[in-house]
Amino acid sequence: MKRVEVPLGGRSYHVVVGRGAAGALPEMVPAQARRAAIVTQAGLPGVDPGIEHTVFEIGHGEEYKTLATIETLCRGFAELGLTRHDVIIGVGGGMVTDVAGFAAASWHRGIPVVHVATSLLAMIDAAVGGKTGVNLPEGKNLVGAYWQPSGVICDLDALDTLPDREVRCGNGEMAKYHFLTGDDLLAMDLESRIARCVAIKAEVVADDERESGRRALLNYGHTLAHALETTTGHALTHGEAVAIGLVFAAHLARHLGRIDDARVAEHHRVVEDEYGLSSVLPADTDPAALLAVMARDKKVLSDGLTFVLDGTVGLEVVSGITPKLVDDVLRDWHR
């Protein structure tokens, strides 16, 4: 069992990683909480927070990651009489922890939340760091809040029955961490690998909690990825889209003279050979539709599109990239 601290002063919390980690849930529940609202999905393992609790099930799939779901949950909290001294517990993958976190940030203007991550993606990324949000038809995660949890559980027992596609989804985010640090994560055992990803994110979040600077680097590959998720109706999982976004970002960086062909080839090798992911755009991809969604991305500035790009000094946020250049690279790469 490993514990990783997310150091945020008086709001610091721990992420517990290991088999049987769910047993640590009661110690993460705030002492003043009398009741817990457990937000989860059908078919996921139950948890025992050690206090009175009510289960709220939400639907499976990104089509339920909406403001309508938040309203349904909050009306349920009202019927339950949940107060700001109680706690919300999100049990599930990244979609669940995003929804539970945003509901917690919204209910009574913020009540404690604890996450029990059941997917690889949630363990290494979505459940950690306090970014919450839901989708609009116009784009992914356009409505949300920063709301740090009181603790996070990563019980590796939950991964034993994880479908292969969900593993690939997590691998897309793990490949991103490879480019952030150069760490050979696949050389580690699973517990150490997940704990290392959490530690990387924790260190970045502690330095830049609200993404005013360095935290934006965690969006590597995500500008195109979010557009792909939206335009395909989420036919691609988040991690699958991130894998494609990582490789596209490398091609864009090469076009801008930031990296050479060898570094682009390294992106292909890591994504395709090391993590077993596709870096090919779907056959029916419409670059114009992707650009329209990217123009609404929350990272966009007024002077053009914004991407995290590789370079001689590592990853950097690069703004002012013209839509025409992105379109040209997309069309050339998609041939």
Domain assignments of the chain as residue spans, ordered by start: 2-205, 220-334
Residue 182, pLDDT > 80, answer yes
Which residue, among 268, 257, 241, has the nearest Cα to 310 in the 3D structure? 257
- Which of 14, 53, 65, 131 is catalytic? The answer is 131
Residue 196, pLDDT > 90, answer yes
State residue 295's pLDDT score: 87
226 as an active site residue: the answer is: yes
One-letter amino acid identity for 9? G
Tell me the CA distances in angstroms from 88 to 10, 82, 171, one per residue in order: 20, 9, 28
219 as an active site residue: the answer is: yes
238 as an active site residue: the answer is: yes
Across 2-11, 102-111, 285-294, least confident range = 285-294
CA dist., res. 45 & res. 47, Å (int): 7
176 as an active site residue: the answer is: no
- Which of 65, 141, 168, 211 is catalytic? The answer is 211
Angle in degrees, CA 225, 229, 231, rounded to 5: 115
CA dist., res. 310 & res. 288, Å (int): 24
Q: Which residue has the higher pLDDT, 283 or 143?
A: 143
Q: Which residue has the higher pLDDT, 217 or 303?
A: 217
State residue 108's pLDDT score: 97
pLDDT, one tens digit per residue, over 26-79 is 999 999 999 999 999 999 999 999 999 999 999 999 999 999 999 999 999 999
State residue 302's pLDDT score: 53
Whole-number average pLDDT of the chain: 94
Model pTM score: 0.92
State residue 299's pLDDT score: 56
211 as an active site residue: the answer is: yes
- Which of 178, 201, 254, 267 is catalytic? The answer is 201
State residue 148's pLDDT score: 97
173 as an active site residue: the answer is: yes
- Which of 222, 234, 251, 254 is catalytic? The answer is 222
Burial bucket for residue 118 (CB in 10 Å: 0-12, 13-18, 19+): buried
Contact (Cβ atoms closer than 8 angstroms) between residue 123 and residue 170: yes
2 as an active site residue: the answer is: no
Q: Which residue has the higher pLDDT, 138 or 90?
A: 90
- Which of 53, 196, 215, 251 is catalytic? The answer is 215
State residue 95's pLDDT score: 97
Q: Three-state secondary structure along the chain?
A: CEEEEECCHHHCEEEEEECCHHHHHHHHCCCCCCEEEEEECCCCCCCCCCCEEEEEECCCCHHHCCHHHHHHHHHHHHHHCCCCCCEEEEEECHHHHHHHHHHHHHHHHCCCEEEEECCHHHHHHHCCCCEEEEEECCEEEEEEEECCCCEEEEEHHHHHHCCHHHHHHHHHHHHHHHHHHCCCHHHCCHHHHHHHHHHHHHHHHHHCCCCCCHHHHHHCCHHHHHHHHHHCCCCCCHHHHHHHHHHHHHHHHHHCCCCCHHHHHHHHHHHHHHCCCCCCCCCCCCHHHHHHHHCCCCCCECCEEEEEECCCCCCEEEEEECHHHHHHHHHHHHC
pLDDT, one tens digit per residue, over 273-310 is 999 999 999 988 999 999 999 988 755 555 689 999 99
Which positions ≥6 away from 227 have C-beta within 8 Å? Answer: 139, 290, 291, 293, 294, 297
**What is the architecture of the domain spanning 2-205?**
3-Layer(aba) Sandwich (3.40)
CA dist., res. 234 & res. 2, Å (int): 33
User: If pLDDT is split at 50, 70 and 90, which confidence band does 18 have?
Assistant: very high
Q: Which residue has the higher pLDDT, 311 or 300?
A: 311
- Which of 173, 193, 196, 251 is catalytic? The answer is 173
State residue 297's pLDDT score: 73
pLDDT, one tens digit per residue, over 246-280 is 999 999 999 999 999 999 999 999 999 999 999 99
115 as an active site residue: the answer is: no
State residue 284's pLDDT score: 87
State residue 335's pLDDT score: 65
The percent of residues in the chain predicted with pLDDT above 90, rounded, is 92
Question: In CATH, what number does 220-334 get?
Answer: 1.20.1090.10
